[in-house]
Structure 1
Protein backbone atom coordinates (compact mmCIF):
# COMPACT_ATOMS: atom_id res chain seq x y z
CA UNK A 1 0.00 0.00 0.00
CA UNK A 2 1.30 3.43 -0.92
CA UNK A 3 1.91 6.01 1.82
CA UNK A 4 0.67 9.57 1.37
CA UNK A 5 3.49 12.03 0.65
CA UNK A 6 3.46 15.60 1.92
CA UNK A 7 6.02 18.13 0.81
CA UNK A 8 6.74 20.86 3.34
CA UNK A 9 9.45 23.49 3.48
CA UNK A 10 8.36 25.01 6.75
CA UNK A 11 6.04 25.05 9.73
CA UNK A 12 3.14 27.48 9.73
CA UNK A 13 1.80 26.80 13.19
CA UNK A 14 2.10 24.38 16.08
CA UNK A 15 -0.18 23.83 19.05
CA UNK A 16 -0.98 21.27 21.72
CA UNK A 17 -4.57 20.29 22.53
CA UNK A 18 -5.69 17.36 24.67
CA UNK A 19 -2.23 15.77 24.70
CA UNK A 20 -1.70 15.93 20.95
CA UNK A 21 0.82 18.22 19.24
CA UNK A 22 -0.59 19.50 15.97
CA UNK A 23 1.96 20.90 13.53
CA UNK A 24 0.63 22.62 10.43
CA UNK A 25 3.18 22.05 7.68
CA UNK A 26 3.59 24.66 4.98
CA UNK A 27 5.06 25.10 1.56
CA UNK A 28 5.93 28.26 -0.28
CA UNK A 29 3.20 29.26 -2.70
CA UNK A 30 3.72 30.95 -6.07
CA UNK A 31 3.72 34.34 -4.35
CA UNK A 32 6.34 33.20 -1.85
CA UNK A 33 3.87 33.14 1.02
CA UNK A 34 3.43 29.91 3.00
CA UNK A 35 0.39 27.78 2.32
CA UNK A 36 -0.81 24.87 4.44
CA UNK A 37 0.33 21.51 3.08
CA UNK A 38 -1.10 19.28 5.78
CA UNK A 39 -1.10 18.69 9.48
CA UNK A 40 1.08 16.38 11.51
CA UNK A 41 -0.52 15.13 14.74
CA UNK A 42 1.79 13.55 17.32
CA UNK A 43 0.89 12.43 20.84
CA UNK A 44 2.86 14.67 23.21
CA UNK A 45 4.29 11.58 24.91
CA UNK A 46 5.86 10.57 21.57
CA UNK A 47 7.15 14.06 20.71
CA UNK A 48 10.60 13.70 22.37
CA UNK A 49 11.36 10.48 20.47
CA UNK A 50 10.03 11.93 17.24
CA UNK A 51 12.17 15.07 17.51
CA UNK A 52 15.20 12.99 18.52
CA UNK A 53 14.79 10.97 15.29
CA UNK A 54 14.59 14.16 13.22
CA UNK A 55 17.69 15.53 14.96
CA UNK A 56 19.55 12.30 14.21
CA UNK A 57 18.50 12.53 10.55
CA UNK A 58 19.80 16.10 10.38
CA UNK A 59 23.12 15.08 11.96
CA UNK A 60 23.54 12.22 9.49
CA UNK A 61 22.75 14.54 6.58
CA UNK A 62 25.27 17.13 7.79
CA UNK A 63 27.89 14.40 8.17
CA UNK A 64 27.28 13.19 4.60
CA UNK A 65 27.57 16.77 3.30
CA UNK A 66 30.90 17.27 5.13
CA UNK A 67 32.20 13.99 3.69
CA UNK A 68 31.14 15.01 0.18
CA UNK A 69 32.87 18.39 0.54
CA UNK A 70 36.11 16.72 1.67
CA UNK A 71 36.13 14.43 -1.37
CA UNK A 72 35.53 17.18 -3.94
CA UNK A 73 38.61 18.92 -5.37
CA UNK A 74 38.89 22.68 -4.79
CA UNK A 75 36.90 24.67 -7.33
CA UNK A 76 37.96 27.89 -9.03
CA UNK A 77 36.92 31.06 -7.23
CA UNK A 78 33.42 32.20 -8.16
CA UNK A 79 32.35 28.78 -9.46
CA UNK A 80 29.16 27.41 -7.90
CA UNK A 81 29.43 24.48 -5.53
CA UNK A 82 28.52 21.17 -7.16
CA UNK A 83 25.90 19.05 -5.43
CA UNK A 84 27.11 15.81 -3.85
CA UNK A 85 27.28 12.78 -6.16
CA UNK A 86 24.26 11.34 -4.37
CA UNK A 87 22.10 13.30 -1.99
CA UNK A 88 20.02 10.24 -1.13
CA UNK A 89 20.57 8.03 1.88
CA UNK A 90 18.46 5.89 4.13
CA UNK A 91 17.77 6.68 7.76
CA UNK A 92 16.32 4.23 10.19
CA UNK A 93 15.05 5.87 13.37
CA UNK A 94 14.68 3.90 16.53
Structure 2
Protein backbone atom coordinates (compact mmCIF):
# COMPACT_ATOMS: atom_id res chain seq x y z
CA UNK A 1 0.00 0.00 0.00
CA UNK A 2 1.48 3.30 -1.03
CA UNK A 3 0.81 6.87 0.01
CA UNK A 4 -1.74 7.50 -2.74
CA UNK A 5 -4.00 4.68 -1.51
CA UNK A 6 -3.81 5.95 2.06
CA UNK A 7 -4.49 9.48 0.87
CA UNK A 8 -7.51 8.27 -1.10
CA UNK A 9 -8.93 6.40 1.91
CA UNK A 10 -8.48 9.45 4.14
CA UNK A 11 -10.07 11.72 1.53
CA UNK A 12 -13.09 9.43 1.16
CA UNK A 13 -13.41 9.10 4.93
CA UNK A 14 -13.37 12.86 5.47
CA UNK A 15 -15.89 13.33 2.67
CA UNK A 16 -18.22 10.81 4.34
CA UNK A 17 -17.88 12.63 7.68
CA UNK A 18 -18.74 15.96 6.07
CA UNK A 19 -21.60 14.50 4.03
CA UNK A 20 -23.14 12.75 7.04
CA UNK A 21 -22.76 15.60 9.53
CA UNK A 22 -23.76 18.48 7.24
CA UNK A 23 -27.57 18.02 7.40
CA UNK A 24 -27.61 17.92 11.21
CA UNK A 25 -25.30 20.92 11.44
CA UNK A 26 -27.47 22.86 8.99
CA UNK A 27 -30.60 22.08 11.00
CA UNK A 28 -28.90 23.34 14.15
CA UNK A 29 -27.56 26.44 12.38
CA UNK A 30 -30.90 27.39 10.84
CA UNK A 31 -32.72 26.80 14.14
CA UNK A 32 -30.25 29.01 15.99
CA UNK A 33 -30.59 31.72 13.35
CA UNK A 34 -34.39 31.69 13.51
CA UNK A 35 -34.41 31.81 17.32
CA UNK A 36 -31.82 34.63 17.30
CA UNK A 37 -33.94 36.68 14.91
CA UNK A 38 -36.97 36.02 17.13
CA UNK A 39 -35.00 37.14 20.19
CA UNK A 40 -33.85 40.29 18.42
CA UNK A 41 -37.34 41.20 17.24
CA UNK A 42 -38.97 40.62 20.64
CA UNK A 43 -36.02 41.93 22.72
CA UNK A 44 -35.93 38.72 24.75
CA UNK A 45 -32.37 38.21 25.98
CA UNK A 46 -32.72 34.74 27.48
CA UNK A 47 -29.61 32.69 26.65
CA UNK A 48 -31.26 29.31 27.27
CA UNK A 49 -34.08 29.96 24.78
CA UNK A 50 -32.08 28.55 21.86
CA UNK A 51 -31.21 25.32 23.65
CA UNK A 52 -34.58 23.51 23.60
CA UNK A 53 -35.48 24.14 19.91
CA UNK A 54 -31.97 23.16 18.81
CA UNK A 55 -32.05 19.93 20.79
CA UNK A 56 -35.54 19.01 19.59
CA UNK A 57 -34.90 19.75 15.92
CA UNK A 58 -31.47 18.11 15.96
CA UNK A 59 -33.04 15.01 17.50
CA UNK A 60 -35.79 15.09 14.85
CA UNK A 61 -33.15 15.40 12.14
CA UNK A 62 -31.28 12.40 13.52
CA UNK A 63 -34.51 10.40 13.60
CA UNK A 64 -35.37 11.34 10.01
CA UNK A 65 -31.86 11.04 8.55
CA UNK A 66 -30.40 8.37 10.82
CA UNK A 67 -31.05 5.52 8.41
CA UNK A 68 -29.38 7.39 5.55
CA UNK A 69 -26.43 8.36 7.74
CA UNK A 70 -25.96 4.78 8.91
CA UNK A 71 -26.19 3.49 5.35
CA UNK A 72 -23.51 5.91 4.15
CA UNK A 73 -21.11 4.92 6.92
CA UNK A 74 -21.85 1.22 6.50
CA UNK A 75 -21.29 1.38 2.74
CA UNK A 76 -17.93 3.09 3.27
CA UNK A 77 -16.86 0.46 5.79
CA UNK A 78 -18.06 -2.34 3.50
CA UNK A 79 -15.96 -0.86 0.69
CA UNK A 80 -12.91 -0.74 2.96
CA UNK A 81 -13.32 -4.35 4.11
CA UNK A 82 -14.01 -5.75 0.63
CA UNK A 83 -10.89 -4.06 -0.74
CA UNK A 84 -8.75 -5.15 2.21
CA UNK A 85 -6.71 -7.56 0.12
CA UNK A 86 -5.71 -4.69 -2.16
CA UNK A 87 -4.60 -2.56 0.79
CA UNK A 88 -2.25 -5.14 2.33
CA UNK A 89 -0.13 -5.57 -0.78
- What TM-score do the two structures reach when normalised by structure 2? 0.41
Taking CA–CA contacts closer than 8 Å with sequence separation of 6 or more, which of the two structures ends up with the larger relative contact order? 2
**By percentage of residues, which structure has more helix?**
2
**By percentage of residues, which structure has more strand?**
1
- What TM-score do the two structures reach when normalised by structure 1? 0.40
Bigger Cα Rg: 2
